[in-house]
Amino acid sequence: MKEKFSVKTIVAVGIGAAVFVILGRFAVIPTGIPNTNLETAYPFLALMSVLFGPVAGGLIGLIGHTIKDVTTYGAWWSWIISSGIIGVIFGVAGRKINLEDGVFGKKEIIAFNIWQVIGNLVVWAGIAPLLDVLIYSEPANKVFVQGLVAAGANIVSVGIIATLLMTAYAKTRTPKGSLKKG
């Protein structure tokens, strides 16, 4: 499933981007740092990336974030690019996770969360602020504070919400080789 870019994956990208926009617009909690929120879109992006792979995850992040920005205050490319990158990272992290066969135990939870913590730190505390400085000439001290807060918020939201989403999804699947009917 994750290796093919099928019609099902293309549909998942479209629906995933739409849900990303809705969550990004209407299901956020302000952090107190300007333009930096605790997002529910990233746990959903993690689920979709694990299910459909890194290319789909990257596209959902890029398309969803672009539409969200364009329909609010205008495209902020440094963070749009970063959303695509984190979608790819979630998808790569998910290559060893088989949610479709109902596999998401302690080992997979720990491995995914190690990946997501490192990915969120690299992307939101490193890449996004660096691109802010390079593209928009933003003050480094401001954007690196925003990036650290975003990284922390995303680590928490993905760690809790995405883990719950993936656990719930895996429980709906029939394990491969099971005698249980699906």
Looking at residue 4, its pLDDT comes to 65
| pLDDT over 80 at 135, yes or no | yes
Encode pLDDT of 94-121 as tens digits.
998 999 999 999 999 999 999 999 999 9
Q: Measuring CA to CA, which residue among 62, 64, 68 is closest to residue 82?
A: 62
| pLDDT over 60 at 3, yes or no | no
102: left (phi over 0), alpha (psi -120 to 50) or beta: left
| Segment 32-60 mean pLDDT | 94
| pLDDT over 80 at 13, yes or no | yes
User: If pLDDT is split at 50, 70 and 90, which confidence band does 178 have?
Assistant: low
User: If pLDDT is split at 50, 70 and 90, which confidence band does 1 have?
Assistant: very low
More confidently predicted of 14 and 73: 14
Q: Measuring CA to CA, which residue among 61, 50, 78, 74 is closest to residue 21?
A: 61
| pLDDT over 70 at 180, yes or no | no
| Rounded CA Rg of the chain | 16
pTM of the complete model beyond 0.85 = yes
- 86 vs 83: CA distance, rounded Å: 5
| pLDDT over 90 at 147, yes or no | yes
Q: Measuring CA to CA, which residue among 95, 67, 82 is closest to residue 125?
A: 82
| pLDDT over 60 at 5, yes or no | yes
Encode pLDDT of 48-82 as tens digits.
999 999 999 999 999 999 999 999 989 999 999 99
Helix, coil or strand: residue 39: strand
The residues facing 37 across adjacent strands are: 30
Looking at residue 37, its pLDDT comes to 86
Q: Measuring CA to CA, which residue among 9, 43, 8 is closest to residue 23?
A: 43
Looking at residue 177, its pLDDT comes to 66
- Count of helix runs (H) and strand runs (E) in the chain: 8, 2
Mean pLDDT for the chain?
Answer: 93
User: If pLDDT is split at 50, 70 and 90, which confidence band does 130 have?
Assistant: very high
Residue 174 is given by DSSP the state: P
- 112 vs 39: CA distance, rounded Å: 18
